[in-house]
Structure 1
């Protein structure tokens, strides 16, 4: 079947808005709501503890038909675990207690993404045990599997207002965590659903000339055919107007993603596509250009929402053909009471296995960050939103944005649990989000400390 694309025509009053073919048309009951949040970095059961203000956030999550978050941890009991910490890990060894599964369900989450740079912190055994616990907890999850076909496949959530399909991929992942399919006698490889990127460093013309001199001065230089490109020690440099980074997505990976989006929508009433992307870095409040293209293509293929996460801070919101694109929803929970952390982390952050504690290693990681990114000292990493998208007549009629804060100034044992932000902090968060969303033509109004986007009324005017 051909890949039907969404055009830019104004919607009609029937269920086939934007001339979608019936096989990938949105088909939910009026009043369908989706809660989407960012990273779930959680190590303990939060509903059992004393966390002032947390209940107000839980009430919002529980009110949705589909409540989505990015599960950026592994769930298992270290006392009976048969695996080991992986040599490649996502910057820290994320680990959670087994009661996290039922606790996330108690909070209200019923669908989560798994493809991210922490999915294989504890190897294949950690991935499998996490899957077992999520299945037992009644939480639908996607993005990892025993081979590429399983990792890239859609998983489905049944709700009273429609069937929801979820696809999860990552452009930020450890190299050995990428899943692959069997080939002849070679078996498939367990892993995550990866979208590979070819990264280039963009420099001005005079900079490229200097880089070419360095390359030619090294032993065994290899000239490039393209005069506007220099490859130096495996890094590709090309000419641009401004210095920065660019990314080219892998054609085969994109083709499979779009086919799976189309397939997901053909078997569901509503489709969520989610991607874990740190590019160009945790320091950036703007998404890389490849991600905007990816978001548009997945919606063209039938996705009803694109949910981005990865850089641990908010990025802008775009409404594309009546569908929400969240370029990053930051952190929803950043409860980093992880233990054990694995010996490699002690060495990475200059700590002594015999003298320092897991908490001191975690504190060092939170201060210094990953090797290529800043740490989490800035309060911006502890401010985010809970998004609630409402659909009527199969169109997005209202998007509510509830500002939350995660206790940046609190001690480690109490930090990272979300609560609704104070009026002053809510105003600050929403005004920042207004600025980040303005380049995408998104109008966010602020009413009583809550942000609102109402795209349907704007579309009817065209």
Structure 2
């Protein structure tokens, strides 16, 4: 039996990995050879799933990915006044078959505020606006637990009642790691969400609510299980160094792990700024989309985000491109220029 913990230290530019094991005398602890997550030793040599599935759909589905959506503070006040912080940009997104966002706050009343520099709790009134514009939300981030497990559990109940699918968080560890599978035109798309930004206390337990943590062995198992149920599998990550324009070694190593485990693409958020992109084994990795609905930032790079447009088929990602959004002082995005479409 072994367990591993990892943390990226921006100041050192390196990741620390440590673990403990209970093994028979003379045996090598399982996982020891994967202690350096920045090396290829952590990667499976081939996709793990060989489960036979029904003939896939021939459909092409257009997916629009948004970055961090925070509906407390400025955006919350916009909604409280009866306005819609998404209004200016949603016309540009009307062609999407599926719209996905990272929900960077807890939607609840009550709870106990966690001792950390920034905490975000949105009033339940924001749900009507959110479900109008978003088809699924990731809860796997470092703000979902800002007001404790009771508020997080309340949010899960409210999302269920609103009919808004969510992933990357659940009532227990198993449900937090379970994919949400959305079907469009007969194509089954599995979404998984993972956070690796502290505090880790927001992680779900065997019998307690919380988010999915980015544990490598569990991610590989999750992707393998999702491949048996869906035509397309895409993890949505919360990772990277804040305000850094480039991905770091930990992100790149983890992206390779996911692609080689069977992910069709990898999409990321958290740095509050757009980061670089990469093609790994023919699969696109967009390391950070930046902010989307968010206030409180002065710098232009924090107030410039992206909509990731992606066309997916049963063969994976057919094409993708990024469209700029510019965020005003109230945290409302406005559409900008469209980048040239890219094929994986």
Which TM-score band applies after superposition, normalised by the shorter structure? 0.7 to 0.9
Counterpart check, 1:39 vs 2:68: yes
Deviations 1:409-439 (A, max 9, x none): x4xxxx2100113xxxxxxxxxxxxxxxxxx
The structure having more radius of gyration, on CA atoms, is 1
Aligned twin of 1:64: 96
Aligned twin of 2:131: 105
Aligned twin of 1:84: 112
What is the Cα deviation at residue 265 of structure 1?
Answer: 1.8
Structure 1 gaps of 5+ residues are: 7-19, 182-187, 196-252, 336-365, 367-375, 422-448, 457-462
What is the Cα deviation at residue 113 of structure 1?
Answer: 0.8
What is the Cα deviation at residue 311 of structure 1?
Answer: 0.6
SS state of the match for residue 124, structure 1?
A: helix
Counterparts in 2 of 1:392 and 1:169: CA distance versus 1, 3 Å: closer
Counterpart check, 1:94 vs 2:101: no
CA RMSD, 1 decimal: 2.7
Q: State the aligned residue count.
A: 296
Deviations 1:60-105 (A, max 9, x none): 43422221111111112x3xx3x22223x4x322011212222112
What is the Cα deviation at residue 325 of structure 1?
Answer: 1.0
Counterparts in 2 of 1:50 and 1:298: CA distance versus 1, 3 Å: closer
In structure 2, C-alpha distance between the alignment counterparts of 1:328 and 1:123, rounded to whole Å: 26
Q: 2:232 touches 2:316 (CA, 8 Å); kept in 1?
A: no
Aligned twin of 1:417: 332
In structure 1, C-alpha distance between the alignment counterparts of 2:127 and 2:198, rounded to whole Å: 23
What is the Cα deviation at residue 150 of structure 1?
Answer: 2.0
Q: 1:26 touches 1:269 (CA, 8 Å); kept in 2?
A: no
Counterparts in 2 of 1:129 and 1:63: CA distance versus 1, 3 Å: farther
Q: 1:168 touches 1:274 (CA, 8 Å); kept in 2?
A: yes
Structure 1 length-normalised TM: 0.59
Structure 2 gaps of 5+ residues are: 1-43
In structure 2, C-alpha distance between the alignment counterparts of 1:24 and 1:273, rounded to whole Å: 20
Q: 1:155 touches 1:165 (CA, 8 Å); kept in 2?
A: yes
In structure 1, C-alpha distance between the alignment counterparts of 2:253 and 2:55, rounded to whole Å: 21
In structure 2, C-alpha distance between the alignment counterparts of 1:28 and 1:48, rounded to whole Å: 41
Aligned twin of 1:298: 258
Name the structure with the higher strand share. 2
In structure 2, C-alpha distance between the alignment counterparts of 1:395 and 1:178, rounded to whole Å: 30
Counterpart check, 1:165 vs 2:190: yes
Aligned twin of 2:219: 257
SS state of the match for residue 380, structure 1?
A: coil
